Amino acid sequence: MKTKRFTSQQTQEAARILAEGGLLGIPTETVYGLGANGLDADAVSRIFAAKGRPQDNPLILHIPTADWLERYCTDIPATAYALAGRFWPGPLTMILRRKPMVPDVVTAGLDTVGMRCPSHPVCRAILTAADLPVAAPSGNTSGRPSPTNMADMLEDMDGKIDGIVDGGPCSVGVESTIVDLTVQPPRLLRPGGVTLEELREVLGEVAVDEAVTRLLSAGEKPRAPGMKYRHYAPKAPVTVVQGEAAESARYIRRHIGDQDGVICFAEFTHLFEGHPVESIGPKADQAEQARRVFDALRAFDGTEVEQIWAQGPEPSGIGLAVSNRLNKAAGFHIVEV
Ligand code: TXA
Ligand code: MG
């Protein structure tokens, strides 16, 4: 099929694709999503086919306002509204009990559903025009880094989706924070644009799912099914070097092979002259690191590097999300220095 390009002004035309059961590339503040009408099981199945996504990995529903929660969810705790009041629209997904009207293909048969109300103005215009809950995973081929601009999404999806809307580069750059509100205490399943520290300000105690910080063994099932897959992975193997930045840079310099590439903070790029190097921004600028991390991982796919070395960021604030994405890209192959 030919993938139609829409400008950020053409949200009405783009929304028609959703109403007609098609697949639409949608900009959000986190990453680009691959959207379909979340109430149309056939349309949703096509998302899985286009991405090559395993059927047991549920999708999240995107809604224009928090008062849509009641349409699709039941037993909604007061904490959901407290979080919505503080962080919606924005990069937060809540796991809640679902109503039977949500198709099984969306939730992969789970009795819960992920709900998110995005803040990107173009995304909001599309949701409002479509007047539908939009099921949308990240717009990458399954296993590849998530796309943070239209060109990256087209690299994976050109010819496989009906249309895509250009909303510019994503302002957050990593996927939404996922918090499960069906358990006590609430549990962080995926770190993202809303930080763990911010969640705790509203919720008090928040548990951190083990899949966030370590590789699960074959028999273990994470609560967010998607967290079990080797993910965000460029084609070459990645090693994360965790520790004080000058130390990790020195370690990489000592161990780097001739054909290896580096992902590092802006201050250290000069140490790796002659190697393919991707800066993720200044070491103190965590928001910039979040915006750049997926592009840095993607950049190496066009090169012949044998191995990629990455400086591990401080795992606090949004740095926890950046660190999680790099660690996952590395299959949790982490060296502490
Ligand atoms: O920022 C985002 O969340 C982006 C944009 C497009 O909104 N979307 C996104 O979707 O990252 P996806 O499908 O790539 O990641 C959703 C994650 C997966 O790991 C999935 O397993 C988990 O959410 N998930 C979805 N529904 C769930 C549920 N009911 N219970 C637990 N985890 C769930
Ligand atoms: Mg994804």
The CATH number for 47's domain is 3.90.870.10
Rounded distance from Cα 178 to ligand 2 centre (Å): 12
Does the CB atom of residue 107 touch ligand 1 within 6 A? yes
Determine the distance from the C-alpha atom of residue 56 to the mean position of all C-alpha atoms in its chain, rounded to a whole number.
18
Indicate the pTM of the whole model: 0.97
Does the CB atom of residue 177 touch ligand 1 within 6 A? no
- Pocket probe for ligand 1: among 23, 63, 93, 95, the residue whose CB has the most ligand atoms within 8 Å is 93
- pLDDT mean across residues, the chain: 96
Helix (H, G, I), strand (E, B) or coil at 285: coil
Range of the domain at 301: 238-336
> Would you say the ipTM is above 0.85?
yes
Residue 182 and residue 283 in one domain: no
Domain-embedded: residue 226: no
Does the CB atom of residue 113 touch ligand 1 within 6 A? yes
Residue 206 and residue 271 in one domain: no
Residue 190 and residue 322 in one domain: no
Residue 247 and residue 204 in one domain: no
What single-letter amino acid sits at 248? S
Q: What percent of the chain has pLDDT over 70?
A: 99
Rounded distance from Cα 289 to ligand 1 centre (Å): 21
Q: What are phi and psi of 112, to 5 degrees?
A: -125, 165
Rounded distance from Cα 266 to ligand 2 centre (Å): 27
pLDDT 10s digits, 43-64: 999 999 999 999 999 999 999 9
Q: Which atom of ligand 1 is nearest to the CA of 116?
A: 7
Q: Label residue 231 by pLDDT band (50, 70, 90).
A: low
Residue 295 and residue 184 in one domain: no
Rounded CA gap, 335 and 332, in Å? 9
Residue 169 and residue 282 in one domain: no
DSSP code at position 200: H
CATH of the domain at 251: 3.40.50.11030
Instruction: Return the residue whose CA atom lies nearest to atom 17 of ligand 1.
Output: 226
Residue 206 and residue 245 in one domain: no
Domain tally, the chain: 2
Residue 31 and residue 73 in one domain: yes
Q: How many CB atoms are located within 10 Å of the residue 141 CB?
A: 17
